[in-house]
Amino acid sequence: MTSTDTSPRLTDEQLVEVLALTKDADSVELKVTVPEREQRSAMTALELDPLDGQIRQVFFFDTPDLVLNGHGVVVRARRIQGKGDDSVVKLRPVVPHELPAELRASPSFGVEVDAMPGGFVCSGSMKGVLEATHVKEAVAGDRPLRKLFSKEQRAFFAAHAPDGLALDGLSILGPIFVLKVKFSPAGLGRKIVAEVWLYPDDSRLLELSTKCAPSEAFQVAAETRAFLTEQGVDLAGEQETKTRRALEFFSERLRAAG
């Protein structure tokens, strides 16, 4: 099945900026979100089997009016089927060479460029690993939210969050249920990750992504774009990020309830 690729492209100025960012990044993740009307056909074309998927439960933490997000800070924790919990404090956008050397040297910190049709963002993430019960206890009120984050994560949060805003004072935005499927399609020669985010209003978001080293980003992008187009996957739809959609969804609910 073939389709004409009419997906948005980066401008010359954006390409120059991406090249500069990827030079100093640790990794690149290439992403595309598939319009809801096209998701079923895309999953069929890619032969995705939901029984191969891993279930995740995702929680974000922010104020009801998303003050943190407005400052470029994302705070998240996850429960992962068959694995322990994890957490992250993310800052975006960042310019890699402007980050402190001691921060870049931390094994818990990484810089990644996320690129999608027509856009990109470079982010810095301080990650943490938790025991399997910790997130469940925190969202139930049996563990302070700050205990989901390491000393390094708390320091990173304090350095970039607005003054006076503490982790324990944040609202819980979630959960979002996620089905994650990793697969290696014939004809591409690399792994793709499919994530289906299931929102409480019964809407869903399908994101396809693949990670690569910064040095091979443009080659991998061209190969992956060509493969998905050949499979009839719509790359021309409006792109939206999983995080932004989740934050806006739960922010509206919190403000309506308040």
Q: Which long-range contacts (CB under 8 A, 24 or more apart) does 166-170 make?
A: 167/61, 167/75, 168/144, 170/61, 170/62, 170/63, 170/68, 170/75, 170/145
Q: What share of the chain has pLDDT > 70, as a percent?
A: 97
The average pLDDT across 192-197 equals 97
Residue 2 is assigned to a structural domain of this protein: no
Confidence of residue 6 (pLDDT cuts 50, 70, 90): low
pLDDT for 21 equals 94
Q: Averaged over 160-183, what is the pLDDT?
A: 96
CB-count exposure of residue 82 (10 Å: 0-12, 13-18, 19+):
exposed
Counted domains in the chain: 1
120 found inside a domain? yes
- Name the residue among 121, 42, 62 with its Cα closest to residue 246: 62
pLDDT digits (tens, 9 = 90+) for 137-158: 999 999 999 999 999 999 999 9
Distance (Å, rounded) from C-alpha 111 to C-alpha 117?
Answer: 20
The model carries a pTM of 0.92
Q: In which domain, by residue range, is 97 found? A: 12-257
Q: Say if 27 falls within a structural domain.
A: yes
CATH label of the domain that carries residue 37? 2.40.320.10
Residue 3 within a domain? no
Asked whether residue 41 is assigned to any structural domain, the reply reads yes
Q: Which of 4-18, 138-152, 234-248 ranks highest by mean pLDDT? A: 138-152
